[in-house]
Structures are given as structure tokens and as C-alpha cells.
Structure 1
Amino acid sequence: MPVLRQVDLQIARGEYIAVIGHSGCGKSTLLNVIAGLLPPSAGGVVLEGREIDGPGPDRAVVFQNHSLLPWLTCYENVRLAVDQTVGRRMSKAERHDWVLETLALVHMTHAKDKRPAEISGGMKQRIGIARALSMRPKVLLLDEPFGALDALTRAHLQDQVMEIHASRGTTVVMITHDVDEAVLLSDRIVMLTNGPNATVGEILKVGLPRPRDRLALAADPVFVAARTAVLGFLHARHANPALSAA
């Protein structure tokens, strides 16, 4: 049985898209298809006029699990990604400087010589984000990267992702279960219907200017309205699992 059907979505360069829906609706499947990790049984994904036929350095994924190599230091984990992608066009000194610059972007230079077992979960996720950014991807794919973190660490990382998005202008597609996170970070929220055979139920444009301050937005009527709209969509699908996109 197909997981997804008739998913028609256009994403502009530099746009931040959040994909949300109930468990089992195919959010991660959609992300894996965009990443080229999973071939679609029908249709396809086009990036800048070229159809995606497999993984590539133009798309970098940050998974729920940081997926760092435990025997390498934080610096070496990022350096490995650089050496295999953009570093091929750089000198050794340029690769070194680029790794340090990327670590500084996520405020992890101080831990560059530590191994994953020596740092916290939030710090591991920062290294995972740094590794993805070090490849200079056109599209950054985030698969619930903050889901396993405590509230304070999650907030810090969300703020850093907003800073990176503002400074780099990278296109971002993020899978999330967190409604507040989706509204805070994204330009548009893509809401999937229940699976299997899930499709795009609604797309909500988040009309909040950037930069965004989470404390200032707490009582902002635009934020509250967007949050209410997404919660209403999810609640309707939870109350009636057979509800269609219509």
C-alpha cells in the first residue's frame, strides 16, 4: 500500500518548510525521498531543474539520532564530510579553516577534540548540524533533530538554526511533531493527512516577520492564530482518522 500519494509541493530557494502530521503519515518517507535515500514508486523530485536519482552533497540530512562516528572527534566527524564533498576543491589549510568555521557556527569550537561519548546529547546534535552544513548543501533536511532533547536545549538549538538560516539562506525542510516549533521556525507548514495513502491536507503560510523572538511571539496574535490552525487540523484527524484531505 502506498505511503504517500499525490504530494505536489513546490519549495522556493531559501524557504523554511515544516512538515507535520500524525505518526505513520509518511513524514520521514517524504524526507527520505527528497534526500534520495528512498526511490519513489511513482513521480519524482526535481532540484534546480534536475531530477534526483540518489543521495548527493546538494542535500544534507540531520537525523533524530546524531549518527556521529564514535571513534572520531567532533572535528574529525565534520572534517570527514568536508573531505568527501566540498573539500575536494580546497587545499588542506582551507579544509581546516572551513571545519573550524562550521564548528563556530554552532558554537562547538571548544569541543572540537572531544569524542561523541564525551559530550551531551544537545552538543552531539550541534555537531550533526555542523557536519551537514559543512557540505554547503542547497537543501538542509531535518528529521526531528530536536525531538529527544530537553526543553531548554531544544530552544537553544532552535535559535541557532534560525540564526544559521538567516545568515546562510539555505533551503530547509524539517519534519516535526512540535506545533510551536513548526510555527516558530518555518515560512510554511505542510500538514499531511493520516496514513497510509497520506497526502497534503493543508499548507499554512506563517505570516511572521524575521528575525523571530520566541518570548515576544508567545502572545502575538499571528503566532497564536497559526498555532491554532495547525492544532485544529491535527485534532480533526485524530478525532476522525478516516478524514480525507477534503
Structure 2
Amino acid sequence: MSDRFLSISQVQMRFERNGITNPVLKDINLEVNRGEYISLIGHSGCGKSTVLNIIAGLLTASEGVVIVDNKEVNAPGPDRALVFQNHSLLPWLTVYQNVEIAVEKIFKGKKSKKEQREWILYNLDMVNMSHALDRLPSEISGGMKQRVGIARALAMEPKVLLLDEPFGALDALTRAHLQDEVMRIQNELKNTVVMITHDVDEAVLLSDRIVMMTNGPSATIGQILDIELARPRDRLALADDPTYNHYRHEVLSFLHEKQRKVEAIDKHRQTKVKTESKVTANG
């Protein structure tokens, strides 16, 4: 990781509805190096998905700019691939065809049919799905569907891989296995990855840095934690590692403090409403 690859500069996001402005993000600044694995973590509603969608080009920031490999992001593009929590496979296409449709779109005129097929098979093999090429999504498990979604994203050869809680809907055992697969693939390909997660252990295990978001409205980056753990990482060996547990404690402490502030604000608001109700009733 030696050069700046993804830059988010002074990004603000406001949504307007019925004349009311809702400030979602304020002063988001982040520099990501090539090959770095970044996790965004924070309480629900803090704008993590909004940040990811701005990087993907699915949303346009109200202010600020996003740069990927020296090019400004102003629309979706093949240099950024997004994997959702829901696999988003086309149900009428086989495992092979779901990857093929992306490869044909990206590499039409650049790779021959034979080269495209080899590339599809390579990426499906990378996520251990070579045995299910002709199966429909309805014929495979949730974890296998997510593997296909990751293979489809990798097959696009994106400069930045965006993961929106990719393991959130999976059972614990499947989630752990797929996390290990993603670590292995990222170590092999040196992808630049930005991932949203609510799982503290997942963030520490996978990341080079964890970006912790403050609560909204007007959410921003509250703290960035460098994860200096050697790779490859073994989850069992790290379970009793004092450095791993220190990082885990740092993230949990940040999230706990933000939750306490939310609870304090809610309590103050409830007290104010009760007081106003009593005044109105007595008036």
C-alpha cells in the first residue's frame, strides 16, 4: 500500500423532501491506498450506505468530490463493483450465466469468447463454485449465492470492490467461512476494498483500517483505527491475541459512547415532550 487510490474530499449529503432538508453526511474526508481494506462501521442510520453509494456513483453528493485512480466519480462505472447483502442474482440464469452476463458487458470486444469463458471459470473457481456452474440460484444455498455475487464482482476487474454488509444475512458458520475466502482472495489479488459492517470482530479481522462513523444527522468520521495485524490472519489464533482484543475494545468503546449519546438525547426529548404535554393540559 504505497499510493493514494481513492479520495473522498469534503463530501456532504443532504436530502430534501417537501421543503424540509435532512442533513445526512457532513465533511467526509478519507484517503484510501491501493490494495487497502477499509471497513465502515457505525450505528444504523449513520450514513454508511450513503457513503458507499456515493463512491459507487449511485448517489451524487450535495457537495464534495470522490476520486478513483485520478478520475472523478460522477456515475456508476465498471471500475467500481458493488456486492449487496442480498446477492442480487438473476433467478432465471445459472451460476455460470450470472457471471457471464457481467463479463460479456465489460469485456465485449476486449476478450474472445474462449478468453471470456476461461475468465468466468477462473473467478468461479476462486470462490469454490466450479461444481455448481449449471445450477439456478434457487438450487444453491445463501452462502453459495453470495459467493457467486462476489465472483461476478471480481470478474469485472474493478479498481475498487464495494461490499455492503456482504455476510450480514448468513449464519455464523457460513459467514466465518466466507470471510476467510474474502481474506484469501484479497491477499491474492490485492484489491482495494471498502466494506460496510455492523460486526466488530469482522471489521478487525478483515481490515487494514476501520473508519468509525458518528451518529446522524450530519454524520461524519469520528475516528479511524489502524489495524496492525500481520497477514494472513488466523481467526482462531487471534481470539486470544492481546493486540486483536485491544482493537476490538477500541471499536466497541467508540460505538458504546455513541449509543449513550443517542440514549441521552432520546431521554431529553421524551422529557421535553412530557413537560410540554403537562403545560398544555394545565393551560
TM-score (norm 2): 0.85
2:115 aligned partner, one-letter code: E
1:77-156 alignment runs, 5 A limit: 77-156=98-177
Q: 1:160-179 to 2 correspondence within 5 Å?
A: 160-179=181-200
* Alignment match, 1:19: 40
Per-residue deviation, 1:49:
1.2
Question: In the aligned structure 1, how far is the partner of 2:108 from the partner of 2:248?
Answer: 41
Q: Distance in 2 between matches of 1:49 and 1:93?
A: 33
1:88 Cα offset (Å): 3.4
Distance 1:31 1:152 in 2: 27
Q: Which amino acid aligns with 1:9?
A: L
Who is 2:250 aligned against?
229
2:267 matched to which residue of 1? Answer: none
| Secondary structure of the structure 2 residue equivalent to 1:68 | coil
Once the two structures are superposed, residues 58-99 of structure 1 have per-residue CA deviations (whole angstroms, 9 ceiling, x without a partner) of 000000110000000000000000001134300000000000
Please report how far the alpha carbon of residue 44 of structure 1 lies from its aligned counterpart in structure 2 after TM superposition.
Answer: 1.4
Rounded to whole Å, the distance in 2 between the matches of 1:51 and 1:242 is: 39
Q: d(CA) in 1 for partners of 2:184 and 2:257?
A: 34
SS in 2 for 1:85: helix
% same residue: 64
Residue equivalent to 2:214: 193
How much does 1:242 deviate? 8.2
Of 234-243 and 126-135, more deviation after overlay is shown by 234-243
> Which one of 29, 42, 46 corresponds to residue 8 of structure 1?
29
Instruction: Decide which of 225, 231, 238 is 2:259's aligned counterpart.
Output: 238
SS in 1 for 2:28: coil
Secondary structure of 1:22's aligned partner: coil
Separation of aligned partners in 2, 1:8 and 1:216: 34
Is the deviation greater in 196-205 or in 84-93?
A: 84-93
- CA apart distance, 1:105: 0.3
AA aligned to 2:130 is: T
Residue equivalent to 1:61: 82
User: How far apart are residue 122 of structure 1 and its match?
Assistant: 0.3
Contact 1:86 1:136 in 2 (8 A): no
Q: State which structure, 1 or 2, has the greater radius of gyration over its C-alpha atoms.
A: 2
Aligned equivalent of 2:52: 31
Q: Which ranges of structure 1 fall in alignment gaps of 5 or more residues? A: none
Task: Give the letter for the 2:176 counterpart.
Answer: A
- Deviation at residue 241 of structure 1 after TM alignment: 2.0
- Write out per-residue CA displacement over residues 33-57 of structure 1, whole angstroms, 9 at most, x where no aligned residue: 0000111111110011111010001
**Alignment-mate amino acid for residue 226 of structure 1:** Y
Secondary structure at the aligned position of 1:69 is classed as: coil
Gaps of 5+ in 2: 1-21, 265-283
One-letter code aligned to 1:41: S
The aligned residue for residue 225 of structure 2 is 204
Secondary structure (helix, strand or coil) at the match of 2:128 reads coil
Rounded to whole Å, the distance in 2 between the matches of 1:87 and 1:241 is 51
Pairing 1:44–2:84 present:
no
**TM-score computed with the length of structure 1 as normaliser:** 0.97
Amino acid at match of 2:162: L
Contact 1:194–1:242 under 8 Å retained in 2: no
